[in-house]
Amino acid sequence: MAAKQKILIVDDDNNIAELISLYLTKECFECRIVNDGEEALRAVPAFSPDLILLDLMLPGMDGYEVCREVRHKSNVPIIMLSAKGEVFDKVLGLEMGADDYMIKPFDSKELVARVKAVLRRFQPVPTIVTETAAPSEKMVEFPDLTVNLTNYSVVYKGNTLEMPPKELELLYFLASSPNQVFTREQLLDNIWGYEYVGDTRTVDVHIKRLREKIPGNKHWSLATVWGIGYKFEVKR
């Protein structure tokens, strides 16, 4: 029997946390509840969650700080939960490294659906390899840059970069079709999936983070096509 996927629920309202745990336990997830940021940071290495549900309004260390600290050490997917519904708050959460953002109050079915959708994106599809067939490696190479989707690694100027899976998938998707322009909607559909309930600013935030990590060089760049979207531009 496959091991249950583990969800860390971080919320100072124990009633809400218990309710979330009940919904997810019914879907065969293993849940652990913690009520503040410092406890959450201790639980991440101890519990090794597959996903974190992170409330923003925590006592002491808030959810933004927790997210930032987790991202220094782990690429575990994070869904932020907040009563703040302004665009600024959503974008800030994504810039901090969150993978999705849900506004309270939320429907239990939507929460479960989003948890499953995020987990699907973060689970590499297993490849069955026979003795007579070598595995096919999904990798693109350019000067100073190698993106390997098979082992989820990025090497830039000889250094291996820490990169959340969604950023890496977005980079690979663009780089595997050099000079092809994709709209933000196409990128959302291909990287985040049709189930994703979000807006196109999600793409902009991730492109911004990629540019900070890999500024490009004279041979290639992550280019904006104004009014349309983005492309991985290879300069001839």
Calculate the CA dihedral of residues 170, 165, 86, 183 and round it to 10 degrees. Answer: 10
What is the distance between the alpha carbons of residues 186 and 159, in angstroms, rounded to a whole number?
A: 30
Q: Kindly state whether residues 154 and 78 are assigned to the same domain.
A: no
- Residue 52 shares a structural domain with residue 151: no
Cα gap 49→215, rounded to integer Å: 32
Confidence (pLDDT) at 79: 92
Judge whether residue 193 has pLDDT over 50: yes
Domain harbouring 114, CATH code: 3.40.50.2300
My answer on whether 112 and 188 are in the same domain is: no
The phi and psi torsions of 232 (rounded to 5 degrees) equal -90, 100
Note the pLDDT of residue 174: 93
Average pLDDT across the chain, whole number: 85
CA-wise closest residue to 116 among 79, 90, 159:
79
Q: Residue 117 domain-assigned? A: yes
Same domain, 184 and 213: yes
Would 182 be classed as within a structural domain? Answer: yes
Residue 197 has pLDDT above 60, yes or no: no
Q: What is the pLDDT of residues 155-183, one digit of tens each?
A: 998 899 988 888 899 999 999 998 898 98
pLDDT at 67: 92
Q: Is 198 among the domain residues? A: yes
Segment 66-76 shows an average pLDDT of 88
pLDDT digits (tens, 9 = 90+) for 130-152: 444 345 678 899 989 999 988 88
Amino acid identity of 51? L
Share of the chain above pLDDT 70, in %: 90
Q: Last residue of a domain, which of 122, 151, 173?
A: 122
Does the residue 81 lie in any domain? yes
Within this chain, do residues 118 and 198 fall inside the same structural domain, yes or no? no
The model carries a pTM of: 0.60
The CA distances from residue 34 to 54, 182, 197, 215, in Å, are 10, 41, 26, 38
Gap between the Cα atoms of 229 and 222, Å rounded:
11
Give the distance, in angstroms, between the CA of residue 199 and the centroid of all CA atoms in the same chain.
15
Q: What is the number of structural domains in the chain? A: 2
Question: Domain check: are 29 and 100 in the same one?
Answer: yes
In a shared domain, residues 104 and 173: no
Question: For the segment 198-234, what is each residue's pLDDT rounded down to a tens digit?
Answer: 666 888 889 999 999 998 788 899 999 988 889 999 8
- DSSP per position, 87-139: HHHHHHHHHHT-SEEEESS--HHHHHHHHHHHHHHHSPPP----TTSPPPP-E
191: domain CATH number is 1.10.10.10
Contacts of residues 135-142 at CB distance under 8 Å and 24 or more positions apart, as own/partner, are: 138/172, 138/176, 140/172, 140/175, 140/176, 142/175, 142/219, 142/220, 142/234
State whether 113 and 149 are in the same domain.
no
d(CA 146, CA 152): 11
pLDDT above 90 covers what percent of the chain? 36
**Parent domain of 174:** 139-234
Mapped onto helix, strand or coil, the DSSP state of residue 39 is helix
Higher local confidence (pLDDT), 43 or 104: 43
193 plus 105 within the same structural domain: no
Say what the pLDDT of residue 156 is.
92
Average pLDDT (88-98) is: 82
Domain co-membership, 93 together with 63: yes
Q: Is the pLDDT of residue 103 over 60?
A: yes
Among the residue ranges 18-22, 33-37, 47-51, 150-154, the one predicted with the least confidence is: 150-154
Residue 125 has pLDDT above 70, yes or no: no
